[in-house]
Amino acid sequence: MLSKIIKSSIIVALASTAMYGSSFNVQAEKDRKALIKYFEDKFADPDKNRNRFFPYSTDDELKNNMPKNVKFEDFAIGNYAWSIQGKEQYDEINEMPPYEDYIDIGEEIYTSSKVLQGCFPDVTIGGDYPYFSDKRGEIVTLGVAINECLTAGKQKPFNMKKGKMAHLQAYMVFQTREAGKKTNIKISSQAASDAYERGKEYYYSQKGYLKLSCASCHVQGAGARVRNENLSQLLGHTTHWPAFRLKWGGKNVNGDGLGTVERRVQGCIKDEGQVPPSVTSNEMKELLYFMTYMSNDLNVDGPDIRK
């Protein structure tokens, strides 16, 4: 009798989960919606709201360089969404972006590898990573998935930050973009929700000798300028990886400026006087899980140009 009650209550519990979708993302959804509202309010009229949001920006910047009414989908292009100067150069370079060849190279890597084709029969999966694997109890990022695939197929794994990994991801993400897919991160279990919360905590914790959190610059500080860097916003941060950074292109002998999100995040954390988590660590993966969830519903638009 008791077992019947337990069984039926389990069924009811599962059914209600199925009915209302995953109830494990309730808090995450609250966070995400609040973030969108914050940024839309912030960039609605920078000049008018300067006291509230941009106390340190100059007259010239607010009146001449920042457009009004930046909306949800616009935020995916980073600070080009609200810096007219930067957007001009972005548009010019995008007429014929320097990453196009690498998409072809990435396609070659894929089509010449039965192992990769076996693991990823559908390459339009750029918007589904990172995901929480209930079976393994941990986050799987695209880079980790690719390298685990290669290792299982007795092939050498790629460097997680640039080179072949970036080229292959460029191809996969480009196909995802062409298929019109959106960022679609799921939180479907308590463990996944806990991982999200840990990532969120990292994002909002002050660290290092500069006592900066990611949020200091990319939530509170978004829209402000530090020397010649216009601080970009968290919303839309993950939609366009791997990105071609002009800075990386200038440094690379062949002009290959493509890098993965891990490359960028590690570089940033290092700049803030902190030791970055390793690219395959739980810390890194959970941080990316949180960040990517924040960009849910935005179109996958990689690869793209950045400074």
Partner 1 sequence: MATKKTRIKAKAKNGIVTVMALAKHPMYSGAEAKKLKVKQNFITYLKAEVSGKIVYEVTSSQFFSKNPYLKFKYKGNKGDEIVISWVDLLGNKNTSKSKAK
Partner 2 sequence: MNRRKFISIGLGVFVAAIIPSSLSAVNFRDTKPKAWSLMNPLKGKKVDASSLNGINSAMKELYGTSTVIEGKVKLKAPDIAENGALVPITISSDLNAKTVALFQNANPEATVAVFNVPANGIVYYSLRIKMGQTGTVTAVVESGGKLYSATRVVKVTKGGCGG
Range in contact with partner 1 (rule: CB under 8 A) among 39-47, 110-118, 173-181, 245-253: 245-253
- The alpha helices in 66-141, defined as continuous H runs, are 84-94, 100-111, 114-119
- Smallest gap, in angstroms, from Cβ of residue 249 to partner 1? 7
Q: What does the H/E/C string look like for 133-170?
A: ECCCCEEECHHHHHHHHHHHCCCCCCCCCCCHHHHHHH
Backbone angles phi, psi at 267, to 5 degrees: -60, -45
Tell me: does residue 96 bind partner 1 (CB under 8 A). yes
| Cβ contact 183:297 at 8 Å | yes
| Cβ contact 185:131 at 8 Å | yes
Tell me: does residue 246 bind partner 2 (CB under 8 A). yes
- Please pick, among 119, 149, 214, 268, the residue that the annotation labels catalytic: 268
**Is 268 a residue of the active site?**
yes
**Looking up tokens 């957007």, which residue turns up?**
87
Q: Among 41, 91, 108, 122, which residue interacts with partner 1 (rule: CB under 8 A)?
A: 108
Q: What is the DSSP letter of 220?
A: I
Tell me: does residue 10 bind partner 2 (CB under 8 A). no
* Most distant CA pair in the chain, distance: 75
**What x-and-dash track marks residues 59-98 binding partner 2 by CB under 8 A?**
--------------------------xx-xxx-xx----x
Q: What is the DSSP letter of 226?
A: E
| Cβ contact 207:151 at 8 Å | no
Q: Among 101, 178, 229, 297, which residue interacts with partner 2 (rule: CB under 8 A)?
A: 229
Binding residues for partner 1, rule CB under 8 A, total 14
- Smallest gap, in angstroms, from Cβ of residue 110 to partner 1? 14
Residues that bind partner 1 (CB under 8 A): 95-96, 98, 100-101, 104-105, 108, 249-250, 252-255
Known catalytic residues? 268
**Contacting positions for partner 2 (CB under 8 A):** 85-86, 88-90, 92-93, 98, 227-229, 245-247, 249-251, 263-264, 266-268, 270-271, 307
